[in-house]
């Protein structure tokens, strides 16, 4: 046996579980396994989780904070303008270097699968080439899935559809779109039809930036669900952001959610970005702008939380920490019930793994031995503490370690150490 992890707590609530690993796969999960292994890790009751998965990211823009200048207003529109200034200055080496640095951060945070959009509106397709190179380089430790993203609109930008087809032929995995950014509602709907038909014909998955707007009349998700069921693409299509749903009429939403469910369309909310970029035209009351996460989950729709941005033209913060994303999502959606908090953890693990279509993901005999041991006893505690990732394991090998969080106290008569966890 290569590795045994002893005394693990699992995300589903099972406790005192041993996990045996051989040849990069989990081969047994049970109480007190009788085997021996060349490496043993005593989790001592700590949470052992499958790795974090980010279903929505922009790796071509990440860590470009301050280039060529910072976003002074912190708004979406200044961010798009800033990206337009930065694009002609990009070089492939710099793109690769920044993405590789982010991937290092991701590994340290136990984030081992990422779906990144890549802007295809630059006719040179520099960013596509760069991220395909990064995908190859990080493949031993990160599953990187790329989406061809027409940032400037598939019709609004004259060369976008041709560029998108070229990017797919070069090896990009998923077809993207941005219907709410086309010139008219009709063009938006037409872009959804065109891109879904193209993807269906070629067998690609689809993930569109959809209705990232406070306009309650932005209803491209309805069109996306329609074409998904019409073309038999159930389970392969995702609507990212869907922020307009926050502002939609409740009666309309009561019709919409079953249509999304019937079409098997998944949803991705990006809580850090939605709460900062939406509602900007409001005075008070000020909308939160995040889509209806709890309501979609209750309707049986798969919903993930994504990071979206880290230190780029749209967002000056972030660090690849999906527990920070889950923490923000939980607060913005008011998902404070016990089951709801656990769903927030699933929204950065199991749910995005389903959206990406990852094989052999999870903790069961036969799954890939991709695991994270956290400095927390449960999923809820992991979110509360944004717990340290003590060990990050890929295919049975430890690839990152972090110390547990604690403070050394100097209070007479009190314990010498605080680790922020309740002990009974
Ligand atoms: Zn995005």
pLDDT digits (tens, 9 = 90+) for 17-27: 999 999 999 99
- What is the chain's Cα-based Rg? 22
| Ligand 1 center from residue 365 Cα (angstroms) | 35
Task: Using the predicted structure, report yes or no on whether residue 49 has a pLDDT greater than 80.
Answer: yes
- Region 223-240: what's the mean pLDDT? 98
| Ligand 1 center from residue 213 Cα (angstroms) | 12
| Ligand 1 center from residue 409 Cα (angstroms) | 43
Tell me how far apart the alpha carbons of residues 218 and 188 are, in angstroms, rounded to a whole number.
9
| Ligand 1 center from residue 397 Cα (angstroms) | 32
pLDDT of 414 reads 76
pLDDT of 277 reads 92
pTM of the model: 0.97
- Specify the higher pLDDT residue, 424 or 373: 373
pLDDT of 310 reads 96
Q: Give the tens place of pLDDT for each residue, 148-187.
A: 999 999 999 999 999 999 999 999 999 999 999 999 999 9
Q: For residue 212, indicate whether it is catalytic.
A: yes
Number of H helices, E strands in the chain: 14, 18
| Ligand 1 center from residue 56 Cα (angstroms) | 6
Structure tokens that stand for 418 in this block: 């605080």
Instruction: List the end-to-end C-alpha distance of the chain, in Å, as a whole number.
Output: 34
Q: What one-character-per-residue DSSP string does 25-58 give?
A: EEEEEETT-----SEEEE-TT-BEEPPEEEEEE-
pLDDT of 189 reads 98
pLDDT of 408 reads 87
User: Which of 26-30, 78-82, 258-262 has the weakest average pLDDT?
Assistant: 78-82
- Region 203-210: what's the mean pLDDT? 98
Tell me how far apart the alpha carbons of residues 74 and 157 are, in angstroms, rounded to a whole number.
25
| Ligand 1 center from residue 209 Cα (angstroms) | 6
Q: Choose the catalytic residue: 212, 324, 350, 381.
A: 212
Tell me how far apart the alpha carbons of residues 206 and 176 are, in angstroms, rounded to a whole number.
6
- Region 33-50: what's the mean pLDDT? 97
Q: Give the tens place of pLDDT for each residue, 299-339.
A: 999 999 999 999 999 999 999 999 999 999 999 999 999 99
pLDDT of 57 reads 98
- CA 297, 384, 61 angle in degrees (round to 5)? 70
Tell me how far apart the alpha carbons of residues 83 and 103 are, in angstroms, rounded to a whole number.
21
Per-residue confidence band for 424, with pLDDT thresholds at 50, 70 and 90: low
Mean pLDDT for the chain overall:
96
Task: Using the predicted structure, report yes or no on whether residue 201 has a pLDDT greater than 70.
Answer: yes
DSSP three-state, residue 299: coil
Q: Give the tens place of pLDDT for each residue, 243-270.
A: 999 999 999 999 999 999 999 999 999 9
DSSP state, 265? -
Structure tokens that stand for 362 in this block: 């999870």
């Amino acid at each position: 046996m290569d590795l045994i992890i002893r005394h693990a707590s699992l995300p589903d609530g099972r406790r005192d579980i041993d996990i045996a690993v051989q040849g990069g796969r989990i081969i047994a999960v049970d109480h007190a396994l009788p085997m021996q292994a060349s490496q043993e890790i005593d989790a001592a009751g700590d949470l052992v989780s499958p790795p974090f998965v980010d279903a929505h990211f922009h790796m071509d823009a990440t860590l470009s904070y301050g280039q060529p200048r910072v976003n002074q207003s912190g708004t979406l529109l200044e961010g798009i303008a800033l990206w337009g200034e930065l694009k002609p200055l990009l070089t492939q080496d710099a793109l690769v270097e920044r993405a590789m640095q982010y991937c290092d951060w991701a590994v340290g945070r136990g984030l081992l699968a990422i779906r990144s959009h890549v802007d295809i509106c630059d006719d040179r397709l520099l960013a596509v080439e760069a991220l395909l190179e990064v995908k190859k380089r990080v493949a031993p430790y990160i599953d990187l899935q790329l989406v061809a993203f027409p940032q400037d609109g598939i019709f609004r930008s004259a060369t976008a559809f041709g560029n998108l087809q070229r990017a797919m032929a070069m090896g990009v995995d998923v077809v993207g779109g941005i219907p709410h950014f086309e010139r008219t509602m009709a063009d938006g709907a037409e872009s959804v039809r065109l891109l879904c038909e193209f993807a269906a014909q070629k067998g690609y998955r689809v993930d569109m930036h959809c209705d990232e707007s406070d306009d309650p009349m932005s209803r491209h998700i309805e069109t996306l669900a329609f074409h998904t069921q019409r073309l038999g693409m159930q389970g392969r299509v995702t609507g990212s952001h869907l922020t307009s749903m926050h502002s939609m009429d409740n009666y309309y939403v009561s019709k919409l959610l079953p249509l999304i469910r019937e079409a098997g369309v998944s949803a991705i909310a990006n809580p850090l970005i939605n709460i900062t970029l939406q509602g900007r035209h409001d005075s008070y009351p000020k909308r939160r702008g995040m889509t209806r996460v709890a309501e979609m989950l209750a309707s049986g729709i798969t919903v993930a939380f994504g990071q979206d941005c880290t230190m780029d033209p749209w967002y000056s913060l972030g660090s690849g920490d999906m527990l920070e994303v889950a923490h923000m999502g939980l607060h913005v959606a008011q998902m404070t019930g016990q089951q709801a908090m656990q769903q927030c953890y699933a929204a950065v693990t199991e749910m995005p793994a389903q959206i990406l279509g990852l094989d052999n993901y999870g903790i069961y005999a036969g799954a890939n031995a991709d695991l994270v041991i956290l400095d927390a006893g449960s999923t809820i505690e992991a979110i509360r503490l944004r717990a340290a990732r003590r060990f990050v394991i890929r295919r049975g090998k430890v690839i990152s370690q972090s110390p547990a969080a604690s403070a050394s106290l100097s209070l007479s008569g009190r314990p010498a150490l605080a680790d922020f966890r309740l002990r009974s």
